[in-house]
Amino acid sequence: MESKHMRKKNIPGSAEKDPQRPKRKLDMKILARVVRMLHGYYPVLLPVTVACIIFSAIVATLPAIFLEQVTRAIDYCLREGVTWDIARDMIVPKVMILIGFYILAIIALSLETQLEAVITQGFLNRMRKTMFEKMQDLPIRYFDTHKHGDIMSYYTNDIDTLRQLVGQSLPTLVRSGVIVVSVFFIMLWYSVWLTCVLLVGVVLMILLSGKLGGGSSKYFVRLQRSVGAEEGYVQEMMNGQKVVKVFNHEDACQADFDKLNQELYEDSYRAHAYANMLGPIIMNLGNIFYVIVVTVGCSFLLNGWFNLCIRSLFDPTATAVTVSVVVTFLSMTKQFTGNINQVSQQVNSIVMAMAGGERIFTLMDETPEEDEGYVTLVNARVAEDGSGRVTETDEHTGQWAWKHPHAADGSVTYTLLRGDVRLTDVDFAYTEGKPVLHDVSVYAEPGQKVAFVGATGAGKTTITNLINRFYDIADGKIRYDGININKIKKSDLRRSLGIVLQETNLFTGTVMDNIRYGKLDATDEECRAAARLAGADDFITRLPHGYATELTNNGANLSQGQRQLIAIARAAVADPPVMILDEATSSIDTRTEAIVQAGMDKLMEGRTVFVIAHRLSTVKNSDVIMVLDHGRIIERGNHEKLIAERGTYYQLYTGAFELE
């Protein structure tokens, strides 16, 4: 296809020059967007889950309070020398209350884990559906300019980062955040001084987390890009493995892969080198400040220093640091720093999720294929009274019409689908400033066979891409049965066109399924009839399971010619009024071509047909032959006329110079 000239060469190992590489840190808008989507998908389940997380987190802070009360009770019993019977009445009720809270926390935690599984997997399910729906709406230009393996990476690596975020990181952040806030206020309740000592350590932890987390974030973003680039290259090599082996290109491919793999290694190494330092540093800082709190607490205890605390506002006797306060603070210090460490450990997952989310949302935010058309294709019936009046019907009559609503007066007119296609003064460029077609005019009347010949890159396939609106023209007009194709809905326009491309694509499924792809409601007999018409029935019936033979890997178990015959049968079963045959017989030997040509002649009867061929024998019987050169039509006419003119076509046909 001529569109290939626009594809930018991707040089393996040159990721620094990749325009898709991030040059800045990702912002929190991506995280906020994920949260908004979660709430939109689960407006009830999400708040219930958050409530369960908060409840279980608060319960996790209660042991500190009960520990202080139990320690104080034990201290009192030891000082007063009371018996266990008296002490039991003071301690056991508190323990039973704590056990009750733990039972409720177990219930909340069980419910939370179930809801998290539902929300996480449901979110990913909807995201994949949304991504695939979005991908279906993208123009062909997008797939011409993006590596297919990189696009596949959106559905695997990038979506997995969101699974980590939704299923692990966000719940951990909420849980740890609630615990940290709760413990902070409990610590203020018991001692402001000891809380201030611990806060110094917390500030240091936050500064280190920001420094190390910021250093790793840019490499995690690059890591996601590198994974996509490597997967794209691997897929490309898998698809072209036969070519690689034929030309002994294994060493060069290995060298290119090594460059990409080295880049992936360096990005991964740097990202995890920063990230893996964070957890141990935060943990050991917590241990250091645990010792400092012990030292300061014991100093207050032994020296009887004044204890500033919120509790003293309600209990005047709480102005001194006691053993129970120090013991409780040690427990809370571990809990406080431990949960800050939990938060810091989620930095990696969050950054990777934001990198993956940015790539996914870039896909989802791509401009969809524009379709401003409003003329639709409907089943039609022509009046038998000779008036030629066309009406719409729900029955399949074998006749079609264009339904054209008129906004000005609200009326609707019907134009019988005839297959009259006209291009007038068409200009087109894949890339602005680099025109591919210049002032092209083509007139194909119903039932005519129009052929395009010319060297590769002359613009033959580009013309057919414009007819089915894979791309839109820059200037000129294209009319279908007198209607500007911009007014026709793309799905209806393409439904009226049967296309056999040079690059055959067969899908996983049976031979029958692949033929039926052209018309999903076709019966088995209609599919067999189409195969007989295309000359494919003979080899299909000789397959191990006939029409039920399973095809995989783009029909790798068939020859190229057999695959092309199935593609022709697929177009035949659609029974469209206009056919586009882009090198439809290029992969078929001369003997098979004669068989196919006979079927194609039957298929083309009464249809408008556009044929692109390098074999001039296949276009000899065309009504009109267009000779293109560098995007211009330099000759036109039927075979006899062009031979008589003894121009470019004559030279091509007689072998005066090669078509290429």
pLDDT band of 583, cuts 50, 70, 90: confident
Amino acid at 446: P
* 422 Cβ neighbours under 8 A, 6+ residues apart: 442, 443, 444, 477, 478, 479
Same domain, yes or no: 281 and 231: yes
Give the domain range for residue 543: 421-654
Amino acid at 222: R
Integer Cα distance of 166 and 108 in angstroms: 18
Integer Cα distance of 262 and 245 in angstroms: 24
Return the pLDDT at 568: 85
Asked if the structure places residue 19 within a domain, the reply is no
Asked if the structure places residue 34 within a domain, the reply is yes
Integer Cα distance of 60 and 70 in angstroms: 17
pLDDT band of 375, cuts 50, 70, 90: very high
Residue 269: both structure tokens together: 């190494």
Q: Do residues 449 and 604 lie in contact, with contact meaning Cβ atoms separated by under 8 Å?
A: yes
Q: Do residues 628 and 452 lie in contact, with contact meaning Cβ atoms separated by under 8 Å?
A: yes
Residue 522: both structure tokens together: 């076709």
169-204 pLDDT tens trace = 999 999 998 998 888 888 888 888 888 888 887 788
473-490 mean pLDDT: 92
CATH of the domain at 303: 1.20.1560.10
Return the pLDDT at 20: 42
Same domain, yes or no: 360 and 271: yes
Same domain, yes or no: 478 and 397: no
Integer Cα distance of 178 and 181 in angstroms: 5
262-291 mean pLDDT: 77
Distance set, CA 128 to CA 37, 133, 135, 153, 363 (Å):
13, 8, 10, 12, 12
Same domain, yes or no: 317 and 448: no
Q: Do residues 237 and 230 lie in contact, with contact meaning Cβ atoms separated by under 8 Å?
A: no
SS3 per residue for 92-133: HHHHHHHHHHHHHHHHHHHHHHHHHHHHHHHHHHHHHHHHHH
Q: Which of 8-12, 175-179, 326-330 has the lowest mean pLDDT?
A: 8-12
329-344 mean pLDDT: 81
Same domain, yes or no: 452 and 309: no
Which of 412, 543, 425 lies closest to 479 in space, CA to CA? 425
Residue 111 half-sphere exposure, CB side, CA atoms within 13 Å? Answer: 18
Asked if the structure places residue 16 within a domain, the reply is no
Same domain, yes or no: 380 and 459: no
H or E element: which one contains 493?
Answer: helix 490-495
Higher pLDDT, 306 or 166: 166
Computed over every residue of the chain, the mean pLDDT equals 82
pLDDT at 218 over 50: yes
Higher pLDDT, 211 or 59: 59
Integer Cα distance of 222 and 269 in angstroms: 11
Residue 309: both structure tokens together: 């605390």
Count other C-beta atoms under 10 Å from residue 404's C-beta.
17
Same domain, yes or no: 426 and 574: yes
pLDDT at 273 over 50: yes
pLDDT band of 424, cuts 50, 70, 90: very high
Asked if the structure places residue 265 within a domain, the reply is yes
Same domain, yes or no: 592 and 514: yes
**What spatial distance separates the first Cα and last Cα of the chain, rounded to whole Å?**
14
Asked if the structure places residue 659 within a domain, the reply is no
Higher pLDDT, 75 or 100: 100
* 68 Cβ neighbours under 8 A, 6+ residues apart: 190, 324, 325, 327, 328
CATH of the domain at 433: 3.40.50.300
pLDDT band of 407, cuts 50, 70, 90: confident
Same domain, yes or no: 519 and 437: yes
Return the pLDDT at 588: 66
Asked if the structure places residue 42 within a domain, the reply is yes
Asked if the structure places residue 20 within a domain, the reply is no
115-136 mean pLDDT: 92
Q: Is the pTM of this model over 0.75?
A: no
Structurally, the chain folds into a number of domains equal to: 3
**Dihedral (Cα; 467, 469, 473, 476), 10-degree rounding:** 40
pLDDT at 373 over 80: yes
Same domain, yes or no: 349 and 381: no
Higher pLDDT, 346 or 273: 346
Same domain, yes or no: 179 and 286: yes
Reading across the β-sheet that carries 400-405, which strands appear in turn? 390-392, 376-382, 400-405, 412-416
Return the pLDDT at 299: 84
Return the pLDDT at 216: 65
Same domain, yes or no: 446 and 407: no
pLDDT at 17 over 90: no
Reading across the β-sheet that carries 632-637, which strands appear in turn? 497-500, 578-582, 608-612, 449-453, 624-629, 632-637
Q: Which of 85-94, 208-217, 363-372, 542-551 has the lowest mean pLDDT?
A: 208-217
Return the pLDDT at 457: 82
440-446 mean pLDDT: 92
Residue 428: both structure tokens together: 């087109």
pLDDT band of 246, cuts 50, 70, 90: low
Return the pLDDT at 521: 85
Q: Do residues 15 and 225 lie in contact, with contact meaning Cβ atoms separated by under 8 Å?
A: yes
Asked if the structure places residue 51 within a domain, the reply is yes
Return the pLDDT at 274: 67
